[in-house]
Structure 1
Amino acid sequence: MTERPLLLDGLAAPVVDRAAWGAEPAVDWPPERSAVRAIVVHHTATSNDEPEPLAMVRRVQRFHAHDRGWGDIGYSLVVLPDGRVAEGREGTLASPAPEIVQAGHAFGHNPGTVGIALAGRFHDRRPSDTAWSTLVEVIATIAAHADLDPFGTDVLLANGRTLPAVISGHRDACATSCPGDAVADALEGLRYAVAERLTGSGAGSAGDRAARHRASSSASGPDAAQNAG
């Protein structure tokens, strides 16, 4: 029997696992896995000038686990301003494709979704080019392993809830301002950038679908290289 690859296998961006950022063990949250059907983009709503990003991740974990009572950090992954990717919910890096361990990032929309948070607050300020490029790479890596169409819409989740798009913002799932106006306004460009990465890597059927979508798009569509930086 062939061993399945992990969901983030092939990711070139540096990854900081939970041990490296000093995570507390998850409490009262038995791990559950389900097939990935969508990505939900967040911001952490913390300072954009955080001097110690990993200390910020620890603070977010404590807030989510203890103050909110979620047992652990809510996000699956956190993209730091310098392009590193911090593991979020315990078990995320060990998730075999096309599955993800369920996190706690979007109420009612957690099964089968990967919650990726950009570190910072992006209501009127955009993420760094480096962070945005890493976000594109992370989503493209997951999409390739989980066979996701970056332009997919009307996503039905395992619990019967829906999301408007395969790549959605937190505000598409819940009544919140997250991931900030600057990121929300850039989501269509993000989809094109992920599609460009998939077609360039020859990523199987996901890349084929992205290529077909690009070929059928009008010339006025967002440029694939558009980013939020």
Structure 2
Amino acid sequence: MSSQARILRCLLLLLPFYPFLCSVEARADYHLNNVLSIIEELEGHDPGLTILNVTPALGGLRTSDQDYHHLLLGETTEPLASLQLLSEDQRSFITSVMNHDVDASAERGVVLTPDGTTIAVGHLIAGIEAGLKRVVDLRRPDVVGDLPAPVDNLYALTLAKDIGLAIVAYHLNKSQVLLGPDGCWDNVTSPQVFTALGPWSPITNAVVNGGMDGLILGNLLTELQAPLPKLSALLRDYYGEGQGWMGLKANRRRKNFEAIVDLGVLTSQVISAVYLYNHTGNNAILQNLNHNILRNISQQGVKQFHQSYIVCPAIIPRCMWVAKPYKGVPVNLTLPLRFVYIHHTHEPSQPCTTFYQCAADMRSMQRFHQEDRKWDDIGYSFVAGSDGYIYEGRGWLWQGAHTKGQNSKGYGVSFIGDYTSELPDQAVMKLVKESFLRCAVIGKRIIGDYVIQGHRQYRPTTCPGERLFNEIKTWAAFKEVELSNGTTAGL
């Protein structure tokens, strides 16, 4: 939609009632769909433009680390004249999303994707461009002497350099966080400003998401034979609701990343990328850091990266499903806990398969719990959707209202849907059973010999549904509840 059309719509619909809501200049939403629409328009202007032309044209809009990118990709031969086919507003928007920056007020160069996560666009495009120009054994003794390992430009342009800079910064300044954080959009329908949820590092969640996606897609394109897909088609399939390009989907990025990345290789690439970046006009990076120190801190940092972004599942924060505030003052839990209580929502009765469906279900449950049951907040600690994500309810620190009499002893984890006669999707059960629980142990949220139990073991209810309850009874951590008369409860 053009700027003029946006302004006209705003005036017609809102101005008679809320004149202060309409600004003179409408701004584009920072949603991936807007990026893809502009790329599609660019491709439509010139049918001769392919992914081989479009990605370096977009890459040419970078305004930082140009020497580093040129060293790894070579000087681009793609003229930026094709971008002149776009309007001034479109070029300005695309330039803004191609350049990542973060400070206390906002994180820029990021967009909201249809699956509810946020990505750094520049890292995504850099990965795709590197995949099309893959060099896995780049040796530049003329630049920095013999590098610790030959540079793979796909690793170096997506994540390795940023992980390395975050590790070095953390080592030199312990008050800074090593990884993250995630953040919040001011509006998930019309996203404009993305703000970090806490102190930020050089590698935020958005950078990790964009870098992972770029590495996954770049790796695919390395081996893909012609004809190559249009860039817009590749990204719509990857981030959309279908099967994905070659079966790859954004909501499975952590598992797909794990399948192709070896931690030892990642560590060596982190070290080499820091050496390379240090040479390209950033000579202070390695000051007072010898190779042994860099190797040791890189090993520790990559291990933490592995735990945070591969072992642990992605959790959609409260702000992203537009949670209402907690009523009153939350009661903090005393960690670690011993129990995890499994629920199903029963209502909503159907699994949610997209971010917007799951977010709507979360709001519906919170509204029911707060308004009908008069609770302070949604009762569950966490909720698992069938879209590949876990949603934050009361979270790790606040006591829930999920299993009466047991709320201070454990987390309540619910699956969206009614699982009386069928099971949740296998992938979402594995997400909870393996990734979520393993992450909770690593983070010292629950003890190593935690106990899994069903809601019905403590209350006269069918929750978590007959089929799901029979399933969790097969999980190694499941335990029955022994009553004082020697019988078992809720079975």
Report the TM-score, using the length of structure 2 for normalisation. Answer: 0.32
Q: Give the CA deviation at 1:18.
A: 0.3
Contact 2:351 2:386 in 1 (8 A): no
1:47 aligns with 2:349: yes
Rg: which structure is higher? 2
TM-superposition CA deviations, 1:65-110 (whole Å, max 9, x none):
1110111000000000122010001xx2xx4xxxx42110011110
Which residue matches 1:64? 369
Which residue matches 1:12? 312
1:116 aligns with 2:413: yes
Match of 1:119, as an amino acid? I
Which residue matches 1:199? none
Q: Distance in 1 between matches of 2:332 and 2:314?
A: 26
User: Structure 1, unaligned stretches of length 5 or more?
Assistant: 4-8, 151-165, 195-229
Give me the identity figure in percent. Answer: 29
Closer/same/farther in 2, CA of residues 118 and 168 from structure 1, 3 Å limit: same
1:138 aligns with 2:436: yes
Q: Give the CA deviation at 1:34.
A: 1.7
1:182 aligns with 2:467: yes
TM-superposition CA deviations, 1:22-73 (whole Å, max 9, x none):
0000103433222312000000112225461110110000101111011100
1:25 aligns with 2:310: no
SS in 2 for 1:149: strand
Q: Give the CA deviation at 1:138.
A: 0.9
Contact 1:78 1:119 in 2 (8 A): yes
Note the aligned Cα RMSD (angstroms): 2.2
Q: Distance in 2 between matches of 1:29 and 1:171?
A: 28
Closer/same/farther in 2, CA of residues 37 and 49 from structure 1, 3 Å limit: closer
1:171 aligns with 2:476: no
Closer/same/farther in 2, CA of residues 76 and 40 from structure 1, 3 Å limit: same
Q: By percentage of residues, which structure has more helix?
A: 2
1:148 aligns with 2:148: no
User: Structure 2, unaligned stretches of length 5 or more?
Assistant: 1-176, 178-306, 479-491
Q: Give the CA deviation at 1:14.
A: 1.9
Q: Distance in 2 between matches of 1:38 and 1:174?
A: 16
1:73 aligns with 2:389: no
Which residue matches 2:388? 83
Closer/same/farther in 2, CA of residues 106 and 182 from structure 1, 3 Å limit: same
Contact 2:344 2:463 in 1 (8 A): yes
Match of 1:183, as an amino acid? L
Q: Distance in 1 between matches of 2:366 and 2:320?
A: 14
1:126 aligns with 2:428: no
Match of 1:179, as an amino acid? P
Q: Distance in 2 between matches of 1:183 and 1:29?
A: 33
Q: Distance in 2 between matches of 1:174 and 1:67?
A: 20
Contact 1:79 1:86 in 2 (8 A): yes
Q: By percentage of residues, which structure has more strand?
A: 1
